[in-house]
Amino acid sequence: MWISLPAVGHAQEAVADTVEAPAEEAFEVVWGASDSTQINAADSEVELYGSAFVALDDIRLEADRIVYSQATNQACAYGRRDSTGAWIGRPLLTQGGQTFEQDELCFDMKSRRGLSRQAVTVQGEAIFHASVAKRQANERIHVANAKFTTCDADNPHFHFHLRRAVMIPGEKVVSGPFYLKFRKIPTPLALPFGWFPTPPEKRSHGLLMPGYGDGGNLGFFLKDLGYYMPLGEYADTRLTGDIYTGGSWAIRNSTNYKIRYRASGNFNVSFQRQRIGFSGLPSLTKQNQFFVRWTHNQDGRARPNSRFNTSVNFGSNNHFQSNLSSTQQDYLTNTFQSSVQWSRTFPGKPFNVAMSARHSQNSQTGNVDVTLPAFTFNLQRTSLAKLIGRTQVGSGLLDEVAITGSTRFEQTMQAPDSIFSSRNWQDVTFRNGIKHTASASTQLRAGFVSVTPSFSYNEFWAFQSLQGQLIETDEGIVEVLDTLNGFDATRDWRLSVNASTRFYGTFERGKEKRVQALRHVISPSLGLSYTPERQRTEEVSLNDENWEYNPYSLNRFRPSDIRASGAVNLSVSQNLEAKVRDRETGDVRKVRLIDNIVTSANYNLIADSLGLSDIVTRGNTDLFNRMRVNFGATHSAYARDSLCSA
DSSP per-residue letters across 588-612: EEEEEEEEEEEEEEEEESS-SS--B
**pLDDT given for residue 203 in this prediction:** 66
Residues 166 and 17 in one domain: yes
**pLDDT given for residue 150 in this prediction:** 76
Instruction: Give the residue, 410 or 139, on which the prediction is more confident.
Output: 410
C-alpha span between 61 and 77 (Å, rounded) = 8
Residues 189 and 50 in one domain: yes
DSSP 212-227: EEE-GGG-EEEEEEEE
Confidence of residue 627 (pLDDT cuts 50, 70, 90): confident
Q: Which of 308, 333, 358 is the last residue of a domain?
A: 333
Most confident of 56-60, 450-454, 611-615: 450-454
Question: Amino acid identity, residue 525?
Answer: S
C-alpha span between 52 and 58 (Å, rounded) = 17
| Average pLDDT, integer, range 543-551 | 90
Whether residue 100 is predicted with pLDDT greater than 50 in this model: the reply is yes
Rounding to the nearest 10 degrees, give the CA dihedral for residues 312, 315, 317, 323.
-110
C-alpha span between 371 and 417 (Å, rounded) = 15
**pLDDT given for residue 499 in this prediction:** 96
Residues 39 and 104 in one domain: yes
Q: Is residue 380 part of a domain?
A: no
Residues 118 and 248 in one domain: no
Report whether 316 contacts 279 (CB < 8 A).
Answer: no
**pLDDT given for residue 395 in this prediction:** 53
Question: Amino acid identity, residue 452?
Answer: T
Write the CATH number for 34: 2.60.450.10
φ, ψ of residue 399 to 5 degrees: the values are -70, -25
Residues 299 and 208 in one domain: yes
Q: Provide the phi-psi class of 148: left if phi over 0, else alpha when psi is between -120 and 50, else beta.
A: beta
Q: Which of 122-136, 322-336, 445-459, 469-483 has the lowest mean pLDDT?
A: 322-336
| Average pLDDT, integer, range 296-323 | 81
Report whether 93 contacts 69 (CB < 8 A).
Answer: no
Q: Is residue 600 part of a domain?
A: yes
Q: Which residues pair with 445 in a beta bridge?
A: 450
Question: Amino acid identity, residue 34?
Answer: S
**pLDDT given for residue 20 in this prediction:** 42
| Average pLDDT, integer, range 74-86 | 87
Read off the DSSP letter of residue 13: P
**pLDDT given for residue 439 in this prediction:** 96
C-alpha span between 638 and 155 (Å, rounded) = 75
Cα 451 to chain centroid distance, Å, stands at 35
Nearby residues of 280 by Cβ (< 8 Å), 6 or more positions away:
none
**pLDDT given for residue 256 in this prediction:** 95
Give the residue numbers spanning the domain of 626. Answer: 504-535+561-635
C-alpha span between 220 and 324 (Å, rounded) = 12
pLDDT digits (tens, 9 = 90+) for 24-51: 445 678 888 888 888 887 778 888 888 8
φ, ψ of residue 426 to 5 degrees: the values are -70, -20
Which 3 state secondary structure label does DSSP give 399?
Answer: helix
| Average pLDDT, integer, range 8-15 | 44
Q: Residue 380's closest CA among 351, 407, 400, 355? A: 351
C-alpha span between 367 and 373 (Å, rounded) = 19
Rounding to the nearest 10 degrees, give the CA dihedral for residues 553, 555, 558, 561.
-70
φ, ψ of residue 110 to 5 degrees: the values are -85, -50
**pLDDT given for residue 293 in this prediction:** 92
Confidence of residue 3 (pLDDT cuts 50, 70, 90): very low
**pLDDT given for residue 5 in this prediction:** 42
Which secondary structure element, helix H or strand E, spans residue 330, and what is its range?
Answer: helix 328-332
Read off the DSSP letter of residue 153: S
| Average pLDDT, integer, range 567-580 | 93
Q: Which of 165-174, 236-245, 368-377, 384-393 has the lowest mean pLDDT?
A: 384-393
Confidence of residue 22 (pLDDT cuts 50, 70, 90): very low
Q: Which of 202-206, 582-586, 591-595 has the lowest mean pLDDT?
A: 202-206
Q: Is residue 134 part of a domain?
A: yes
Which 3 state secondary structure label does DSSP give 180?
Answer: strand
pTM: 0.61
Instruction: Give the residue, 301 or 283, on which the prediction is more confident.
Output: 301
Nearby residues of 411 by Cβ (< 8 Å), 6 or more positions away:
371, 372, 373, 374, 430, 431, 432, 556
Cβ-defined contacts of 539-546 (< 8 Å, 24+):
540/468, 540/469, 540/470, 541/470, 542/470, 542/471, 542/472, 542/477, 543/472, 543/477, 545/470, 545/477
C-alpha span between 278 and 361 (Å, rounded) = 33
Cα 137–138–144 angle (5° rounding)? 80
Residues 125 and 269 in one domain: no
Residues 169 and 106 in one domain: yes
| Average pLDDT, integer, range 493-508 | 94
Which secondary structure element, helix H or strand E, spans residue 387, and what is its range?
Answer: helix 384-387
Total number of domains constituting the chain: 3
Residues 149 and 237 in one domain: no
**pLDDT given for residue 353 in this prediction:** 97
Residues 155 and 258 in one domain: no
Q: Average pLDDT, whole number, for the chain?
A: 84
Residues 172 and 223 in one domain: no
Q: Is residue 472 part of a domain?
A: no
Question: Amino acid identity, residue 331?
Answer: Y
Whether residue 493 is predicted with pLDDT greater than 90 in this model: the reply is yes
Q: Is residue 259 part of a domain?
A: yes
Q: Which residues pair with 356 in a beta bridge?
A: 341, 374
Residues 280 and 172 in one domain: no
Q: Is residue 449 part of a domain?
A: no
Q: How far is CA 335 from CA 428, 431, 527, in A?
A: 20, 22, 45
CA dihedral for 59, 228, 309, 322, sign (positive or negative): negative
C-alpha span between 95 and 107 (Å, rounded) = 12
**pLDDT given for residue 421 in this prediction:** 63
Instruction: Give the residue, 592 or 76, on which the prediction is more confident.
Output: 76
Q: Is residue 180 part of a domain?
A: yes
**pLDDT given for residue 329 in this prediction:** 63
Q: Which of 124-138, 363-377, 523-537 has the lowest mean pLDDT?
A: 124-138
Whether residue 583 is predicted with pLDDT greater than 50 in this model: the reply is yes
pLDDT above 90 as % of the chain: 33
| Average pLDDT, integer, range 557-564 | 91
**pLDDT given for residue 12 in this prediction:** 44
**pLDDT given for residue 327 in this prediction:** 61
Report whether 196 contacts 172 (CB < 8 A).
Answer: yes
| Average pLDDT, integer, range 431-448 | 93
Report whether 379 contacts 439 (CB < 8 A).
Answer: no
Report whether 102 contacts 129 (CB < 8 A).
Answer: no
Residues 77 and 176 in one domain: yes
pLDDT digits (tens, 9 = 90+) for 249-278: 999 999 999 998 899 999 999 998 988 877
Q: Which of 278, 305, 333 is the last residue of a domain?
A: 333
pLDDT digits (tens, 9 = 90+) for 349-371: 899 999 999 999 887 787 889 99
Report whether 35 contacts 7 (CB < 8 A).
Answer: yes
- Give the Cβ contact number of residue 333 at 10 Å: 14
Measured in Å, how far apart are the chain's first and last C-alpha atoms? 34
| Average pLDDT, integer, range 505-532 | 92
**pLDDT given for residue 503 in this prediction:** 94
Question: Amino acid identity, residue 599?
Answer: T
Q: Provide the phi-psi class of 239: left if phi over 0, else alpha when psi is between -120 and 50, else beta.
A: beta
pLDDT digits (tens, 9 = 90+) for 188-244: 778 888 777 666 666 667 667 677 778 888 888 888 888 888 898 899 999 999 988
Instruction: Give the residue, 171 or 643, on which the prediction is more confident.
Output: 171
Q: Which of 271, 300, 333 is the last residue of a domain?
A: 333
Q: Is residue 40 part of a domain?
A: yes
